[in-house]
Amino acid sequence: MINVNVKLFAIAKDIAGCDEIALALEPGATVSSVLETLIERLPRFAQWRGHVRFAVNYEYVSTEHPLAENDEVAIIPPVSGG
């Protein structure tokens, strides 16, 4: 299994009720596996497909990005800084 730490922010954090979730994923898992796993646990997350971006270790990545042990994955809802 690949262990990753998923950070949730803003609306994602409100809906999940927490700001961090540890996930164990199958080898070969990509960033899209993270969202699909979250949707299994919290069906409300399904509305986010296509509306959130993802970051791994502080860099934006595509959903095909492969995950590695101890990666920090972040769910990035639409940003509104400034």
Select 1 or 5, whichever has its Cβ closest to another protein.
Answer: 5
Query: Residue 82 corresponds to which tokens in the numbers above?
Result: 């400034």
Give 60's strand partners: 55
Alpha-carbon span 10 to 20, nearest angstrom: 12
To the nearest whole angstrom, how small is the minimum distance from the Cβ of residue 77 to another protein?
7
Select 1 or 57, whichever has its Cβ closest to another protein.
Answer: 57
Q: Which of 32, 48, 63, 66 binds another protein (CB under 8 A)?
A: 48
Give 35's strand partners: none
- What's 15's DSSP letter? H
User: Would you count residue 18 as binding another protein (CB under 8 A)?
Assistant: no
DSSP helix/strand/coil, 77: coil
Q: Give contact residues for another protein (rule: CB under 8 A).
A: 7, 9-11, 14-15, 47-48, 51, 55, 58-60, 74, 76-82
